[in-house]
């Protein structure tokens, strides 16, 4: 049965009029970035109760003093390279096999790998912005200010507090989530890769399409309604699927 899955998924992609991909932390663990909830994951190293929009707006000094380690982690993963799974998805987009990628990841690895239509619905590590005037700055500038003990880091234009362009607990999702929702509503196949589908509202997306396939190392609560589930690493699964697509094309 497991041997048949790459063929079945490849066939489903080739038969689909429009395939959209949704990715989560599981696609980036193969690049050395830990996921959030597993033992040794991100939330075992950092306190999620601090990483909230309420904490940032109500007590930015406390937020930034507690978030120093997290900012250091952000700085580290900016230099991580894409893995084979990211590159295969970029190739599949180039081959017009997939329409776009919706990602919960903030690491930017899809864009680094060459994917062009990427909806980063949980933000990114490339920039920050002023909470007062909305001026955008490089995340490097924000981190440099914090390293120089400018806590909280302030906007050079208006003196407002700067923040990373990463979605914190309590934040609304960016406008691109509305666009991502439209993409899923209009697709004939949603391919979920490396996501436990535990975070709202992103986990509402599979319910917007009639057909979705899940590629994830562990089981999810959405498995029962999926047309196919393969509990495998993203890189291994996508390599096998892409090879089958080449044979069938």
Domain ranges of the chain: 1-33+83-120+172-249, 35-79+128-164
Distances (CA, A) of 83 to 109, 112, 143, 176: 8, 10, 26, 25
In this prediction, residues 23-38 reach a mean pLDDT of 84
Tell which CATH classification among 3.30.1490.20, 1.10.510.10, 3.30.1600.10, 2.40.160.20 matches the domain 35-79+128-164. 3.30.1600.10
In this prediction, residues 25-48 reach a mean pLDDT of 72
pLDDT of 49 > 90? The answer is: no
Burial 50-83 (b: 16+ CB within 10 A, else e): bbebebbeeebeebbebbeebbebbeebbeeebb
pTM for the model stands at 0.94
Architecture label for domain 1-33+83-120+172-249: 3-Layer(aba) Sandwich (3.40)
The first and second tokens of residue 46, run together, are 């950092």
pLDDT band at 40; cut points 50, 70, 90 = low
pLDDT of residue 77: 83
Catalytic residues: 122
Sheet containing strand 100-103, strands side by side: 118-120, 100-103, 19-23, 189-193, 212-215, 228-230
Instruction: Report how many helices (DSSP H) and strands (DSSP E) the chain contains, helices first.
Output: 9, 9
Q: Is the separation of the CB atoms in 109 and 133 below 8 Å?
A: no
Q: Is the separation of the CB atoms in 84 and 92 below 8 Å?
A: no
* CB half-sphere exposure, 175, CA atoms < 13 A: 0
| Model confidence pLDDT, tens digit, residues 90-111 | 999 999 999 999 999 999 999 9
pLDDT of residue 33: 87
């Amino acid at each position: 049965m497991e041997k048949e899955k790459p063929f079945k998924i490849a066939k489903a992609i080739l038969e689909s009029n429009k395939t959209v991909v949704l990715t989560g932390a599981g696609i980036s663990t193969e690049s050395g970035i830990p996921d959030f909830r597993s033992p040794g994951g991100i939330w075992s190293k950092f306190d999620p109760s601090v990483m909230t929009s309420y904490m940032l707006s109500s007590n930015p000094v406390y937020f930034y003093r507690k978030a120093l380690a997290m900012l250091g982690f952000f700085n580290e993963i900016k230099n991580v390279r894409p893995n084979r799974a990211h590159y295969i998805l970029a190739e599949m987009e180039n081959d017009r096999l997939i329409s776009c990628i919706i990602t919960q990841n903030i690491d930017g690895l899809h864009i680094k790998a060459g994917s062009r239509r990427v909806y980063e619905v949980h933000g990114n590590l490339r920039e920050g912005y002023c909470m007062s005037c909305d001026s955008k700055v490089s995340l490097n500038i924000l981190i440099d200010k914090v390293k120089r003990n400018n806590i909280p880091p302030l906007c050079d234009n208006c003196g407002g507090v700067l923040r990373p362009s990463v979605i914190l607990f309590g934040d609304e999702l960016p406008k691109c989530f509305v666009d991502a929702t439209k993409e899923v509503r209009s697709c004939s196949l949603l391919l979920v890769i490396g996501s436990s589908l535990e975070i709202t509202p992103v986990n509402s997306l599979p319910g917007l399409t009639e057909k979705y396939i899940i590629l994830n190392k562990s089981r999810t609560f959405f498995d029962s309604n999926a047309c196919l589930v393969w509990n495998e690493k993203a890189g291994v699964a996508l390599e096998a699927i892409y090879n089958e697509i080449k044979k069938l094309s």
